[in-house]
Amino acid sequence: MTSFYSLIRSCQTDWDHYIQHEFIQQLGKGILDIACFQHYLKQDYLFLINFSRVWGLAVYKSHDITEIRQSLNSLKTIAEVELDLHVEYCKKWRITENELKTLTEAKANTDYTQFVLDVGLNGDILDLHIVLAPCLIGYGMIANWLRKQHWYDAKNNPYTSWIKMYISKAFQQTMQNEIAWIDQRLLNIDTSRFEQLTTIFKQATQLEANFWQMGLDRSF
């Protein structure tokens, strides 16, 4: 039976590279250079803004009132809650709100957000959820992977607060809800459609990994 995990298996090497990226391993071991983490946080602020635009597209692409409400809720959560929380979290890492408002967008960020927006504009609601899945579902899986590693020391890791956001009950439930939503829509698709979706999923996964590399390299 085709499921979300079928998408992962279709690009397992790329998925593992993303989930276990060197940026993530250093973060999990607490040895990631603070400047790398700060660079990631700054670029993630810009990504969140574009992420909210994509959920706006999802409202338009929705088939019924249930999907409209779901997409609208995601849009409002990012625009009215998550962005403010991100700004406050950045302050703890000595990043001012003014810095965030005057950022230069890195190429890896532009490439990723442009791809997501292009899929959103040209595809349907399922395409949209698939292109967002490596982010929305992947972050929860990254946090779960980290806490299972024998070298992960939550008490002495300066990045534990970041990891805790994604192992929280609320985020893990959101992740499971999204997996269930995707699984339901994959039930009756044919091979050709699945191949289209795997292409989208694989590229989004690669672009997510590039985002980690951007943070590690502090590149623009």
Domain boundaries, the chain: 21-217
Give pLDDT, residue 7.
Answer: 96
**154/161 Cα distance (integer angstroms):** 9
Sequence-distant (≥ 6) Cβ neighbours of residue 126 within 8 angstroms: 182, 185, 197
Q: What are 180's two structure tokens? A: 């269930």
Note the pTM of the prediction, 2 decimals: 0.90
Give pLDDT, residue 79.
Answer: 85
* Cα–chain center distance at 23: 15
Q: What is residue 123's three-state secondary structure?
A: coil
Q: Which sign does the torsion angle of CA 210, 211, 215, 220 carry?
A: positive
Q: Residue 15 in contact with residue 205, Cβ under 8 Å?
A: yes
According to CATH, what is the number of the domain 21-217?
1.20.910.10
**30/25 Cα distance (integer angstroms):** 9
**What count of residues does the chain have?**
220
Per-residue burial over 63-88, b = 16 or more CB atoms within 10 Å of its CB, e = otherwise = eeeebeebbeebbeebbeebbeebbe
In degrees rounded to 5, what are phi and psi of residue 160? -60, -35
Along the 220 residues of the chain, how does pLDDT read in single tens digits? 788 999 999 999 999 999 999 999 999 999 999 999 999 999 999 999 999 999 988 999 998 999 899 888 888 888 878 888 899 999 999 999 989 999 999 999 999 999 999 999 999 999 999 999 999 999 999 999 999 999 999 899 999 999 998 998 988 998 999 999 999 999 989 999 999 999 999 999 999 999 999 999 999 9
